[in-house]
Amino acid sequence: MLERAESYEALIRGFRWRVPGRYNIGVDVCDKWAGDGDRLALIHKRADGGVERFTFARLMRLSNRLANVLAAHGLARGERIGILLPQAPETALAHVAAYKLGCIAVPLFTLFGPEALEYRLKDSGAKALVTDGEGLAKLAELRDRLPALSVVLSIDGEGDGAVDFHEVLDRASDSFAPADTGPDDPALIIYTSGTTGPPKGALHGHRVLLGHLPGVELPQEFFPQPGDLFWTPADWAWIGGLLDVLLPSWHHGVPVLAHRFAKFDPEAAFALMAEFGVRNAFMPPTALKMMRRVERPHERWDMALRSIGSGGETLGEELLDWGRETFGLTINEFYGQTECNLIVANCAGLMPVRPGSMGRAVPGHEVAVVDPAGNPLPPGQPGTVAVRRPDPVMFLEYWNDPEATAAKFAGDRLLTGDMARRDEDGYFHFLGRDDDVITSGGYRIGPGEIEDCLLKHPAVALAAAVGVPDAERGERVKAFVVPQEGEEAGPALARDIQAHVKNRLAAHEYPREVAFVSELPMTATGKIMRRKLRELP
């Protein structure tokens, strides 16, 4: 959607949304390209090291077969299809088939436990589930409590009440007429990561993919370019993996690399990107922080990266400097949330990147910092990030929760619940979740700046800052620190870390308490769960 411009201002002036009256994600990302029989869509590196390649033409035939199988099992337009799989060809096929059927895809993370799965399958009323052997094992104890679930397809073969995915596909027709859907017809339910309470199902229409395009193209330095190949370690069950990488790439006919890490391995990530010549990546900040601990990566691997985007937590100056040294490029931070994603971004090739800023409003989105009533605040004043509706990337509603949907808006503005300030030039500076902001001695302190400063200490590997009750100040800053390997965690190191922050930020921002931990509690998407830290003694 973006056409390269000489400046950010020119880019904004020249932008127009192009949302057709009839639109189906499955047709757009797959069938549209199938006429070019050799066009590569997916490179799948399996866990055993084997590599398989899929063209768009092959994906169209297979997704048509799966759509026919699901229809034969009674799946009709508007019904929900759970997808409990890692990054794999079958995962993508399930999505494309669901959209072509006019059904609603419900992506589910493979590391969810039984309670998390039961909640989402029951809340969505999923009628079908596509999964593997691991998913079946989890489902076994839940099946009796999911009366709506009538068919389960397993990519690892039949058993435990499941149908053999590959066997039924082999017997199905590869001819299918996709549903005639409009941009506002429901296509996808993505459950929020639950950093501030029980997860809610954000229902999105088919237009959500079109709404994502400017926010992918900008931080990926005017994606696509000839030779691009996209990869992310983020699971396709999350909006970051699915709508920041897989579906936008296929909209543009760009191939995607799929590989499942049982557990993220930073050295293996470098090796994988070098092996396949990955040109574009979405790397969550947590992954980058882990990769930062790898010694001399630019000397050990020959990488071809052209662009890296990152979002979910503030990057900070330390990671930006490391990225330039390691990859020879500036990592572009962006911002969004499940309900309204990729609305603010950086693009180093177009405008200066300011450390600590998540960028400027992506073309097509009207973003402001507002007070609780939804009134825009002047530059420099902290408030809530808000987006004006209508907006193609914005969710339709929370599934089965009209009260929560209504509470998400103040007039025509969606309230993200994230605190930020906007400077005179339109750059947004993230301060934290509304409930993460620390109020100490009359100051409102965002944890992001403190955490960035903590990471600059050579003994700190990972860090999080929270506010804890304090009789005198209301709250005091407490830092939870994962020390670098070989560092002795104790009072001397704590004092050194405190002085490091106090000397570089301000006296009211330094952590008056430092706790050393072996790991930080995080959501499955790599966001620090600060509320869990606040609950610790």
Per-residue model confidence as pLDDT tens digits over 108-146 = 988 887 888 998 999 999 999 999 999 999 999 899 999
In a domain, 447, yes or no: yes
Q: What is the CATH number of the domain that holds 488?
A: 3.30.300.30
What's the confidence (pLDDT) of residue 509? 80
Both tokens of 53, joined, read 């390649």
Report how far apart, in Å, the C-alpha atoms of 284 and of each of 135, 242, 247 are.
25, 14, 18
For tokens 């149908």, name the residue. Answer: 163
In a domain, 336, yes or no: no
The span from the CA of 400 to the CA of 398, in Å, is 6
In a domain, 222, yes or no: no
The span from the CA of 448 to the CA of 466, in Å, is 10
In a domain, 36, yes or no: yes
In a domain, 151, yes or no: yes
The span from the CA of 133 to the CA of 189, in Å, is 23
What's the confidence (pLDDT) of residue 381? 96
Regions of the chain with pLDDT less than 70: 193-198, 434-435, 437, 439, 441-444, 446, 524-525
pTM across the whole model? 0.85
- 373 CB neighbour count, 10 Å cutoff: 8
Domain range for 477: 437-535
Among 276, 284, 238, which Cα is nearest to 259's? 276
Number of domains in the chain: 2
- Residue ending a domain, choose from 181, 201, 228: 181
- Residue ending a domain, choose from 131, 151, 181: 181
In a domain, 351, yes or no: no
In a domain, 44, yes or no: yes
DSSP, collapsed to helix, strand or coil, labels residue 31 as helix
Check if the beta carbon of residue 80 is closer than 8 Å to that of residue 104. Answer: yes
Among 408, 391, 73, 26, which Cα is nearest to 187's? 26
Which segments of 315-406 are extended strands (E)? Answer: 332-337, 340-345, 360-361, 367-370, 383-388, 397-398
The span from the CA of 242 to the CA of 234, in Å, is 9
What's the confidence (pLDDT) of residue 475? 83
What's the confidence (pLDDT) of residue 463? 93
Backbone angles phi, psi at 217, to 5 degrees: -65, -35
The span from the CA of 368 to the CA of 321, in Å, is 29
Mode of pairing for the β-strands spanning 307-310 and 80-84:
unpaired
Report how far apart, in Å, the C-alpha atoms of 404 and of each of 80, 367, 409, 417, 512 are.
21, 21, 9, 13, 37
In a domain, 82, yes or no: yes
The span from the CA of 336 to the CA of 190, in Å, is 14
In tens, the pLDDT along 440-473 reads 765 657 687 788 889 989 999 999 999 998 877 7
The span from the CA of 449 to the CA of 509, in Å, is 9
- Residue ending a domain, choose from 133, 151, 181: 181
What's the confidence (pLDDT) of residue 280? 98
CA 460, distance to chain mean position in Å, is: 25
Report how far apart, in Å, the C-alpha atoms of 153 and of each of 61, 70, 162 are.
18, 9, 5
